[in-house]
Amino acid sequence: MAIASGFILRVYAGAVVINTHINIWLLLCVVSFSLFLAVGKRRSELTLLEGQLAFKHRRALFSYPEKLLDLYISMFANTTWLTYALFAFLQPPIRTTERIVLFWADLPLAFRNQKWLMITIPVVIYGVMRYLQLIYEKNEGESPAKILVSDKPLLGAVVLWGLMVMVVIYVFG
Residue range 58-94, pLDDT digits in tens: 666 666 778 888 999 999 999 999 999 999 988 766 6
By C-alpha distance, which of 73, 71, 52 is closest to 61? 52
Average pLDDT, the chain: 82
pLDDT value of residue 1: 76
Query: CA 129, CA 77: separation in Å to the nearest integer?
Result: 8
By C-alpha distance, which of 93, 95, 89, 75 is closest to 31? 75
pLDDT value of residue 5: 85
pLDDT value of residue 62: 63
Statement: residue 126 has pLDDT above 70: yes
Statement: residue 27 has pLDDT above 60: yes
- Tell me the average pLDDT across 115-139: 90
Torsion 160-166-172-173 (CA) sign:
positive
Of 74-83, 112-121, 152-161, least confident by mean pLDDT is 112-121
CA 28, 76, 57, 3: dihedral to nearest 10 degrees? 0
**Banded model confidence at residue 121, pLDDT cuts 50, 70, 90:** very high
**Banded model confidence at residue 105, pLDDT cuts 50, 70, 90:** low
Higher model confidence: residue 92 or residue 117?
117
Beta strands in the chain (DSSP E): none
**Judging by beta carbons within 10 Å of its beta carbon (0-12, 13-18, 19+), is residue 125 exposed, middle or buried?**
middle
pTM for the structure as a whole: 0.79
- Tell me the average pLDDT across 96-100: 52
Query: CA 22, CA 12: separation in Å to the nearest integer?
Result: 8
